[in-house]
Amino acid sequence: MDEIMVPPAAEPGSPRSLREERGHPALITGLYTGSLLVIVMLGSLVAANRIPGLERYALERNAASYSLFVLFMMIPVFRFLDRPWRLFASAMIGWMTFILAYDIAGMVFHELFEALRAPFEAMIEGAVIYGVIAVGSWVGGMILEARRHPIAPGRHRAREIRSHER
């Protein structure tokens, strides 16, 4: 009788089991990044609009918010610098999570979009920034790969080349 071959279960600690346990790293990194961006946005909005004692430290408050925001934006870049597709996918998942929260925050903070920018504009800015970084990563990887291999083709011996004989 023909037996159906069933692949053996992955042993704990094997590369296959680790890959199955980890899930999709781009999705996880994107959701993590988006959550951190939302936390920074909400913290800075609350600090700017609900805590009047911080008004005299507005420059420092805004600089800290911008610094944290840029640092957290770079998480997918640092994580997937050598894999541009995952970099872009992860970054866009995080950015869309942020844009969704930004759109909802505009309902609570009524003049948010007049003071900053519309959610669609912010979405396009993020896509362009992450797109340029992903393309730069791809081109940089191609340059490094080209430096590892000879650019000039190998030479053939004269007797192997018989293009005009006969």
Torsion angles phi and psi, residue 6, rounded to 5: -105, 125
- Residue 88: exposed, middle, or buried by beta-carbon count in 10 A (0-12, 13-18, 19+)? buried
Report residue 18 as tokens: 């680790």
Residue 162 lies in a domain: no
| Helix pair angle (58-73, 25-49), 10° resolution | 170
**What's the number of domains the chain is made of?**
1
In a domain, 117, yes or no: yes
In a domain, 15, yes or no: no
Q: For 25-79, how does the pLDDT look when each residue is reduced to its tens digit (9 = 90+)?
A: 999 999 999 999 999 999 999 999 999 999 999 999 999 999 999 999 999 999 9
Indicate whether 59 belongs to any domain.
yes
Per-residue pLDDT band at 20 (split at 50, 70, 90): very low
Full domain range(s) for residue 104: 23-148
d(CA 103, CA 105): 5
Reported pTM: 0.77
Residue 12 placed within a domain: no
Question: Does 4 reside within a domain?
Answer: no
**What is the arithmetic mean of pLDDT over 73-100?**
97
Domain assignment present for 93: yes
